[in-house]
Amino acid sequence: MAYFLANDNVKIFYEVKGEGKPIIFIHGWTCNHSFFKKQVETLSKNYKVITYDLRGHGVSERPENGLTMDRMAKDVRDLIEHLNLSDVTLAGWSMGTTIILEYVRQFACDKLSNICFIDMTPKVVAEGNWHMGLFGEFSHKDNLNHIANVAGDWPKVIESFVPSLFATSGCRIKEDMDWVFEEVRKNTPHVVVDCWVSMSNKDYREELSKITVPTLITRGEESAFCTKETCEYMEKEIKNAKWIDYSKCGHILFMEETEKFNKDIVEFIEK
């Protein structure tokens, strides 16, 4: 098992498979590197595919501090420098998208050649004239209630959270959902609370116009997390963006429509 040491001395697990142009996949809240196993299997035949466990997740160290988007973006930078990478495609799912946007805030698009956003809004909480938060109208009150529920009874939250990742009309593969349940249950409550608090307090709308590399925006048509209007907004704000919707898919579209997603990201990188 390979680890790199972030510059605040936290051990972070990573895997590298294949050779070629580098792709780093960044998983979402409560998940881990193995969620991209179907991408690694296919894409590593022609690309250098890097997956890793965010601090506090998977088999990475679970510190008490640094469980923020600011620090996690620095971890991405540390990983890129550890592997001496350039011309990287960064692909982030859900909170992974938030981490990429924080990377853009701190480092612009240095070392990057492409970005892929997977089913996520640039601002979680809806307020004022912003109506494209998580689940559309996700208010401050909704957010506080969610944090209280996660902190108070994480196992109960899991029972509704995991099914919400999948489309209801699509091909819900029981084995996939059972596996996701098993992986999500491995989390530590203080980690998921701290990460959510950090993510939900961020606003990355201004970062969209600062993206200077080609960007692929993907969304599941039945996603409860990211609205069609959100993707239209992001596509308009990013200078060189392409948006793809996945029919009969939810938030976890890359697992539900693996073959199409893998094909789309290859075509995007090679364009």
- The CA distances from residue 225 to 48, 63, 84, 201, in Å, are 30, 28, 34, 16
Q: Is the dihedral of CA 72, 22, 180, 235 positive or negative?
A: positive
Residues of the chain with pLDDT under 70: 170-172
The pLDDT, as a whole number, for residue 173 is 76
With residue 22 as reference, give the H or E element that holds it: strand 22-26
Of residues 162, 160, 24, 157, the one with CA closest to residue 81? 24
Q: In whole angstroms, give the CA distance from residue 219 to residue 84.
A: 31
Question: What are the pLDDT digits (tens) for 105-131?
Answer: 999 999 999 999 999 999 999 999 999
The pLDDT, as a whole number, for residue 174 is 82
Question: What are the pLDDT digits (tens) for 193-202?
Answer: 999 999 999 9
For the question of whether the overall pTM of this predicted structure is more than 0.85, the answer is: yes
Domain boundaries, the chain: 2-270
The pLDDT, as a whole number, for residue 172 is 62
The pLDDT, as a whole number, for residue 171 is 59
Question: How many other C-beta atoms can be found within 10 angstroms of the C-beta atom of residue 239?
Answer: 12
The pLDDT, as a whole number, for residue 184 is 98
Looking at CATH, the fold of the domain delimited by 2-270 is given as Rossmann fold (3.40.50)
